[in-house]
Amino acid sequence: MSQYNLSHLDQLEAESIFVMREVAAQFEKAALLFSGGKDSIVLVRLAQKAFHPAKIPFTLLHVDTGHNFPETIEFRDFLVNKVGARLVVRLVQDSIDQGRCVEEKGINASRNTLQTVTLLDALAEFQFDVAIGGARRDEEKARAKERFFSHRDEFGQWDPKNQRPELWNLFNGRKAHGEHFRVFPLSNWTEMDVWQYIQRERLDIPSIYFAHEREVFDRNGTIYAASPFMQRLPEEKVEKRIVRFRTVGDMTCTGAVDSPAATLDEIIAEVAAARKTERGTRADDRRSETAMEDRKKAGYF
Amino acid sequence: MDLLRFTTAGSVDDGKSTLIGRLLYDSKAIFEDQLDAIERVSNQRGAGYVDLSLLTDGLRAEREQGITIDVAYRYFATPRRKFIIADTPGHTQYTRNMVTGASTANLAIILVDARKGVIEQTRRHSFIASLLRIQHIIVCVNKMDLVGYDEAVFNKIVADYSEFASRLEVSDIKFIPISALLGDNVVDKSTNMPWYEGASLLYTLETVYIGSDSNHVDPRFPVQYVIRPHTAEHHDFRGFAGRVAGGVFKPGDEVVALPSGFTTKIKAIHTFEGEVQEAFFPMSVTMTLENEIDISRGDMIAKPNNAPVASQDLEAMICWFHEQKLRPNGRYIIRQTTREAKCLVKAIRYKVDINTLHKTENDLEIGMNDIARIQIRTTSPILHDPYRRNRHTGSIILVDEFTNNTVAAGMIL
């Protein structure tokens, strides 16, 4: 009966499509959190597959810190146009201007944690009762404990010690009024799976994932892009290097890696040989031992 | 490359974290920055060694208390296979977590300390694996280095376990003598145990045959979602989306829609890439049918000569998951495939003493981590197969209708 076997990518895809359809069936109004990064690009493809030939029944939601790489924003608009989806953008700057949150100070200031405020406000504004995210369990130790269907209370909080057990493929999305869910269809995917899938599906991705020359500076071993959003210390000298990014977040917290990988084949070879995790380049995770868990409890992605 | 999902079970201090750490490390799934981070924390605590459990114990509360609270999922791959490990904690809320981890596993690794032999917890873990119908068990006899790599110790454990396991319903049990700490027989064959003629653990995981574990005999397609594009191009398209839960479907097949009982034929099986000529577990596809018949989420497409049982009365083995005890005659929401109904717990037949495996009818109070056989009456027919025949159409969860918590998982008998 060996003809009834699926490859690991096909199995992961089938599982994720099942989860996408459960979201459409169990919830009233869904947002798909779209950042323009590789994981959310895969999410969009899976959503297309799940509902073909109908359109994606979700609204794409981008929480824009204003500190994104311009290439990412350009790509976001290109992809949304290409797949014919509805996109809603909400700005962290607006949340700051409205006094909903306060900008961090100092040279390591980042709008990373402020996004939570804008995100929760946007979910309330549009009455989304579920937000689909691209988080994967292999990314980070707190995420290793996440469910596919993750319950959030009326304050948007995650309670990791009191999660609903999740068995077989029976997902319990029942909730009280005012509560919502976060759903993670890529839970079982690894960084390598995502890259292999992007290659197999020939998905477009932002140019910053590929090697390019960029003005950068070094801070505590992390290579940051020189940008108007980051203050530099006098000793932090800007230089031109050939780099690429393994993850795409804000310019203020996403480090680059020195890399000549200019094609998907080269990226996959590099990921296979990598001895550091992709989030090793993320300053937002390194603020403390449990930085991700603490942010997730507050309602972060 | 295919995919193997396995769960690991062991008692406290039997080296489970060390074993997982070694599999991850030797397959290069642990990265330098992760290793640096756990080395730093281990040193801060004055542990004197690198505590690999810190890799999986990700939550603040787990790190503070030095215990594992919840199932953690870990991933690694070799050139032969991709692996998903459901790592379940060894003590608190053990049953609940192991049942959860086992529900999606093809295989269970059960660790036995060579110095202690088959103990109560070994039997408990094996019983749960058997209850959840895991077809393959690998018993790893660990810490062989501490018993001088003695063949007699290993043989005694194999004999003890085999005698006990004859009462379980597991078809494939393998035994491997290992030292997780020193790496004997984990990735490579050990030179310290020339008397052992089997394969290393990793090689066994890479090669165990799981192709026949899924049900490719009984065609089952629980309808998950109805796709209606409402576009000019696909004006009349009405597709039934779902994931095949068993058997094989082909265009032209005569099928029956349940519970209505109407028969029709499959017009086409659609995917994003185009139409396909067959669909089988675990494919997610969309079917169109020859006739317009009323089908919605929770219905099932099967074959007229091979249909699931449709019944409002179920007997099930359940594992209770919640602090609030089962309310006899209580009302709950039952979920099975894509179907949801209300149900009443009509009777509690017996409770299983998880340590002795004895059935008791004297104490029928069902609380957290208890395993029991119950009788359920549902408001509408549940289209099911016995769990032993099909994991996907034979599994249920019970949800509390007031708190919305998942309070129990069950296997239909």
Q: What is the pLDDT of residues B109-153, one digit of tens each?
A: 999 999 999 988 888 889 999 999 999 999 999 999 999 999 999
C-beta atoms surrounding B13 within 10 Å? 12
Chain B, nearest residue to A14 by Cα: B284
Share of chain A above pLDDT 90, in %: 58
Contact A172 B55 (CB under 8 A): no
Average pLDDT of the residues in B237-248: 96
Distance CA(B132)–CA(B410), nearest Å, equals 9
Judge whether B178 and B140 are in contact, CB under 8 Å. yes
Domain-located, residue A237: yes
Looking at per-residue pLDDT, the higher value among B69 and A79 belongs to A79
- Predicted pLDDT at B349: 96
| Res B317 pLDDT > 90 | yes
Which pLDDT score, from 0 to 100, does residue B306 have? 96
CATH of residue A82: 3.40.50.620
On whether both A177 and A163 belong to a single domain, the answer is yes
Query: Is residue A112 domain-shared with residue A151, that is, in the same domain?
Result: yes
Q: Are strands B221-227 and B279-280 parallel, antiparallel or unpaired?
A: unpaired
Query: What's residue A1's pLDDT?
Result: 40
Q: Identify the band that residue A283 occupies on the pLDDT scale cut at 50, 70 and 90.
A: low
pLDDT of residue A258: 92
Q: Please tell me if residue A50 touches chain B, with a CB cutoff of 8 Å.
A: yes
Q: Which two tokens stand for residue B26?
A: 């030797």
Res B84: pLDDT? 94
Residue B26: what pLDDT? 77
Task: Classify residue B208 by its DSSP letter.
Answer: -
Please choose, from the candidates A38, A18, A60, A67, the residue with its C-alpha nearest in 3D space to the C-alpha of residue A203: A38
Residue numbers in A near B229 (CB within 8 A): 53-55
CB contact under 8 A, A187 and B63: no
B238 pLDDT band, cuts 50/70/90, is: very high
- B48 pLDDT higher than 70: no
One-letter amino acid at B364 equals L
Identify the pLDDT of residue B291: 94
The Cβ of residue A278 has, within 10 Å, a number of other Cβ atoms equal to 21
Report the pLDDT averaged over residues A84-101: 90
Taking a C-beta distance cutoff of 8 angstroms, is the pair B256, B262 a contact? yes
CB contact under 8 A, B2 and A276: no
**Rounded percentage of chain B residues whose pLDDT exceeds 90:** 67
Distance CA A105, CA A9 (A): 44
Same-domain check for residues A293 and A253: no
Q: Which residue of A has its CA nearest to B76?
A: A190
Q: Considering the domain boundaries, does residue A200 fall inside one?
A: no
Q: Are A40 and A33 in contact (CB under 8 A)?
A: yes
A158 and A215 share one domain: no
Q: Residue B313 pLDDT > 60, yes or no?
A: yes
pLDDT at residue B12 in the model: 66
Specify whether A151 is located in the same domain as A247.
Answer: no
Q: Say how far apart CA B17 and CA B7 lie, in whole Å.
A: 12
Q: pLDDT tier at B25 (50, 70, 90 boundaries)? A: confident
Q: How many CA atoms lie within 13 A of A240 on its CB side?
A: 2
CB atoms within 10 A of CB B28: 14
List for chain A the helix, strand, coil content (%; round to 5): 35, 15, 45
CB contact under 8 A, B70 and A12: no
Tell whether A121 and A228 lie within a shared domain. no
Q: What is the mean pLDDT of chain B?
A: 90
- Domain ranges, residue A231: 205-285
Greater confidence, B171 or B352? B352
- From CA B62, how far away is CA B69, in angstroms rounded? 6
- Could you tell me how many helices (H) and strands (E) chain A has, helices first? 8, 10
Q: How many CA atoms lie within 13 A of A281 on its CB side?
A: 23
Least confident of A89-93, B11-15, B282-286: B11-15
Pair A34, A78 in one domain: yes
Residue in B233, B242, B395 nearest the CB of A168: B395
Characterize B283-303 residue by residue with b for buried, 16 or more Cβ atoms within 10 angstroms of its Cβ, and e for exposed. Answer: bbbbbbbeeeeebebbbbbbb
Q: Is the pLDDT of residue B55 over 50?
A: yes
Check pLDDT > 60 for residue B92. Answer: no
Alpha helices in chain A (DSSP H): 8-26, 38-51, 70-83, 92-97, 115-126, 191-200, 264-273, 291-298
Compute the C-alpha angle B196/B200/B202, nearest 5°.
Answer: 165
Q: Which has the minimum average pLDDT: B115-129, B147-161, B239-253, B292-306?
A: B115-129
B310, containing H or E segment = strand B309-320
Say if residues A27 and A129 touch (Cβ distance below 8 Å): yes
Residue to substitute from B2, B5, B38, B82, interface A, most A β-carbons within 10 A:
B82
Mutate to test the interface with A, among B4, B36, B60, B228 (most CBs of A within 10 A): B60
Closest of B108, B97, B95 to residue B71, by C-alpha: B97
What is the H or E stretch that residue B94 is in?
helix B94-103
Mutate which of B76, B96, B227, B411 to disrupt the A interface (most A C-beta within 10 Å)? Answer: B227
- What are B168's two structure tokens? 């379980």
A7/B2 Cβ within 8 A: yes
State yes or no: ipTM above 0.85. yes
Torsion angle of C-alpha atoms A76, A214, A133, A91, degrees rounded to 10: -60
- On whether both A80 and A130 belong to a single domain, the answer is yes
Buried b (16+ CB within 10 A) or exposed e, A176-208: eeeebbbbbbbbbbbbbbbbbbbeebebebbeb
Segment A246-260 shows an average pLDDT of 87
Is the pLDDT at A151 greater than 50, yes or no? Answer: yes
The pTM of the full predicted model, rounded to 2 decimals, is 0.93
> For residue A216, which of A245, A191, A187 has the smallest C-alpha distance?
A245
Measure B81 CA to nearest chain A CA, in Å.
Answer: 8
Q: Note the residue count of chain A.
A: 301
pLDDT reported for residue B196 = 97
The number of distinct structural domains making up chain A is: 2
3-state secondary structure of A274: coil
Q: Are A274 and B31 an interchain contact pair (Cβ–Cβ within 8 Å)?
A: yes
C-alpha span between B203 and B335 (Å, rounded): 38
Same domain, A62 and A152: yes
- Read off the pLDDT band of B211 (50, 70, 90): confident
Indicate yes or no: CB of A165 within 8 angstroms of CB of B409: yes
- What is the interface size between A and B, counted as CB pairs within 8 Å? 183
A12 pLDDT above the threshold of 60: yes
Q: Are strands A212-219 and A222-225 parallel, antiparallel or unpaired?
A: antiparallel
The string over A80-113, giving b where at least 16 C-beta atoms fall within 10 Å of a residue's C-beta and e elsewhere, is beeeebebeebebbebbeeeebeeeeeeeebbbb
Whether A29 and A119 map to the same domain: the answer is yes
Q: Is residue A249 part of a domain?
A: yes
A214 and A191 together in one domain: no
Domains of chain B, CATH where assigned? 2-207 (3.40.50.300), 221-302 (2.40.30.10), 309-412 (2.40.30.10)
DSSP-derived secondary structure for B253-274:
-EEEEETT--EEEEEEEEETTE
CB within 8 Å: A7 and B409? no
Q: Which of B50-54, B296-300, B311-315, B337-341 has the lowest average pLDDT?
A: B50-54
Q: Does the bond joining B222 to the residue before it have cis omega, within 30 degrees of 0?
A: no
Which positions 181-240 of A are in contact with B (Cβ < 8 Å)? 187-188, 190, 192-193
Contact A145 B72 (CB under 8 A): yes
Unique residue bearing structure tokens 């969860």: B397
* Across B53-67, B94-108, B328-342, least confident range: B53-67
The residue ranking higher by pLDDT, A285 or A167, is A167
Angle at the Cα of A224 from the Cα atoms of B41 and A119, rounded to 5 degrees: 80
Is pLDDT above 70 for B173? yes
- Mean pLDDT, residues B76-102: 84
Tell me the mean pLDDT in the region B274-296. 96
Same-domain check for residues A119 and A138: yes
pLDDT at residue A281 tops 90:
no
- Of residues B341 and A159, the one with the higher pLDDT is B341
